[in-house]
Amino acid sequence: MNKFTNIAIVGLGQIGNYLYNELNNKKKEIEIKTGKKIKIVAISAKNKNKKRKFKIDKKIFYSDPLIIFKSKKIDILFESIGQSDGISKKIVETALKNKVNVITPNKALIAKHGDYLAKLAEKNNVNLEFEASVAGGIPILRAIKEGLATNKINKVYGILNGTTNYILTEMEKTGENFDKVLKKAQLLGYAEPGNPKLDLNGFDAFAKIRILSALSFNTKISKNRCIMEGIENIRLDDIKIASQLGLRVKLLGISEIINGQLFETVHPCLVSKNTYIGNVNGVMNAVITEGKPVGESILQGEGAGPGPTSSSLLSDLLSILRGKTKYPFGIPSNKRKSIKSFNNDNYTNSLYLRFEVNDKQGVLLLITNRLAKFKISVKRIIQTPDKKNKKATIVIITHKTTEINAKSCLSIFKKNKNILKFPILIRLYN
């Protein structure tokens, strides 16, 4: 490296623009901590004239990020555009092939192409760091790769999406419905104004779970079909009933080795208000690992936003400036194995089932008989009549049953004229 470590930032949106400002403000601190002087020599975004939160130096602006490599010597490139393919993949690929270290918060890219890009980084003897891609400011990837390096981790789970956790928390706190709270989240910048779908449908948390699994279990990023559900179907009624039962709805990402097979999922869970995870509220994220011999470790913090994300991006930068090249996933790519996936049908949980029914004799019996036919035993029933409309709400908490059993059992209710809507199902966690 020259006297200066030359840096390029590609993407100057929420993250890239904040990062640009942070790097300029913290140059001295970075030099003290690493002995290296950094210099931002190239920046790129789509629109040169867009008004940005922090002032940028237009003399080093490139409208086409791929040109940067031809005109400047770059040592470290930050990719903060955010696509899983397209220009994001192209720029990272080109950087690595040109022996440029890469830092990215882009979970979609890493979850999809992480194996290939890691191999490319190793082949070219440069770093590919992506701490900010999972749980924003929480240094969970480095904790797994370094702090917990010699432990055998068998489970990693947690709240990995701040937007959905904020929405669920706020619905319980204020009694406002999903749409109203979503609008509030968008105004506060917690949810994307245009398209919050990837947060709400569980996709964002799922990409993070795939990255966590690969690091925790030293495996290739899985491509298995998994149970992925978001919070779009969670109704205020369910949050209120759950609350009366001492439970809270949380969108959990879970990755676990069961009988030597990998099980990954993201879905809403009912957790006890007395548990740790049940009290991680608002935009907070938390990641829990279970390993041997260390036992349970928990890291909690802000999971999104430019501040926490930049904290992780700078941690990656310092790691690169301080030391030698590291394996992106902690061990050499050729030592990371593919792993068989656990059959989703055998996933087992207690269930919360809510039925909207005609308030007629025999309907409850019909439901419980159907459950019994599938050997699903009932732990608790709460029936609330709505006399005026001759309807009733029946909530059933079951003992543990398998996913396949639950699915087969519930399918018949689609057709029954006394069951007014297909039942709501929320799995209980532990």
Ligand X SMILES: NC(=O)c1ccc[n+]([C@@H]2O[C@H](COP(=O)([O-])OP(=O)(O)OC[C@H]3O[C@@H](n4cnc5c(N)ncnc54)[C@H](OP(=O)(O)O)[C@@H]3O)[C@@H](O)[C@H]2O)c1
Positions annotated as catalytic residues are: 208
> Among residues 15 and 118, whose Cβ is nearest to ligand X?
15
> Among residues 163 and 398, whose Cβ is nearest to ligand X?
163
Task: Decide if residue 137 touches ligand X (CB under 6 A).
Answer: no
The 8-class DSSP code of residue 195 comes to -
Task: Decide if residue 278 touches ligand X (CB under 6 A).
Answer: no
Phi-psi region of 393 (alpha: psi -120 to 50; beta: other; left: phi over 0): beta
Q: Would you say 133 and 104 are in contact if contact means Cβ atoms under 8 Å apart?
A: yes
> Among residues 83 and 272, whose Cβ is nearest to ligand X?
83
Task: Decide if residue 283 touches ligand X (CB under 6 A).
Answer: no
Task: Decide if residue 13 touches ligand X (CB under 6 A).
Answer: yes
Task: Decide if residue 128 touches ligand X (CB under 6 A).
Answer: no
* Least Å from the CB of residue 87 to ligand X: 4
> Among residues 81 and 96, whose Cβ is nearest to ligand X?
81
Task: Decide if residue 244 touches ligand X (CB under 6 A).
Answer: no
Task: Decide if residue 305 touches ligand X (CB under 6 A).
Answer: yes
Task: Decide if residue 10 touches ligand X (CB under 6 A).
Answer: yes
The binder of ligand X chosen from 3, 28, 35, 47 (CB under 6 A): 47
In whole angstroms, give the CA distance from residue 92 to residue 94.
5
Sheet-wide strand order for 101-103: 61-62, 37-44, 4-10, 76-79, 101-103, 128-129
Q: Would you say 398 and 207 are in contact if contact means Cβ atoms under 8 Å apart?
A: no
Task: Decide if residue 268 touches ligand X (CB under 6 A).
Answer: no
Structure-block tokens of residue 112: 């999809």
Task: Decide if residue 428 touches ligand X (CB under 6 A).
Answer: no
Task: Decide if residue 253 touches ligand X (CB under 6 A).
Answer: no
Task: Decide if residue 284 touches ligand X (CB under 6 A).
Answer: no
The binder of ligand X chosen from 6, 7, 11, 371 (CB under 6 A): 11
Report the relative pairing of strands 424-428 and 261-272 from DSSP bridges.
Answer: parallel
What DSSP string describes 251-307? EEEEEEEETTEEEEEEEEEEEETTSSGGG--TTEEEEEEEEETTEEEEEEEE-SSHH
Structure-block tokens of residue 227: 């149970």
Task: Decide if residue 222 touches ligand X (CB under 6 A).
Answer: no
Judged by CB under 6 A, the stretch of 31-39, 75-83, 270-278, 329-337 that binds ligand X is 75-83
* Least Å from the CB of residue 101 to ligand X: 18
What DSSP string describes 94-144? HHHHTT-EEE---HHHHHHHHHHHHHHHHHTT--EE-GGGSSTT--HHHII
> Among residues 185 and 395, whose Cβ is nearest to ligand X?
185
Task: Decide if residue 265 touches ligand X (CB under 6 A).
Answer: no
The binder of ligand X chosen from 132, 200, 221, 351 (CB under 6 A): 132
Q: Would you say 185 and 166 are in contact if contact means Cβ atoms under 8 Å apart?
A: yes
Task: Decide if residue 158 touches ligand X (CB under 6 A).
Answer: no
Beta-carbon contacts of residue 369 (< 8 Å; ≥ 6 apart): none
Please count the residues of this chain forming the interface with ligand X, following the rule CB under 6 A.
25
The binder of ligand X chosen from 8, 45, 56, 120 (CB under 6 A): 45
The H or E element that residue 240 is part of is: helix 236-244
* Least Å from the CB of residue 204 to ligand X: 8
Task: Decide if residue 12 touches ligand X (CB under 6 A).
Answer: yes
Mutual angle of helices 27-34 and 14-25, in 10-degree steps: 70
Q: Would you say 8 and 41 are in contact if contact means Cβ atoms under 8 Å apart?
A: yes
The binder of ligand X chosen from 9, 42, 43, 65 (CB under 6 A): 65
* Least Å from the CB of residue 419 to ligand X: 41
Report the relative pairing of strands 101-103 and 76-79 from DSSP bridges.
Answer: parallel
3-state class (DSSP) for residue 388: helix
The H or E element that residue 352 is part of is: strand 351-358
HSE-up (13 A, CA, CB side) for residue 68:
33
> Among residues 48 and 173, whose Cβ is nearest to ligand X?
48
* Least Å from the CB of residue 351 to ligand X: 33
The binder of ligand X chosen from 297, 309, 319, 398 (CB under 6 A): 309
Find the residue with minimal CB distance to ligand X.
13
Judged by CB under 6 A, the stretch of 45-53, 248-256, 285-293, 294-302 that binds ligand X is 45-53
Q: Which residues bind ligand X (CB under 6 A)?
A: 10-16, 44-47, 50, 65, 80-82, 87, 105-107, 132, 136, 304-305, 309
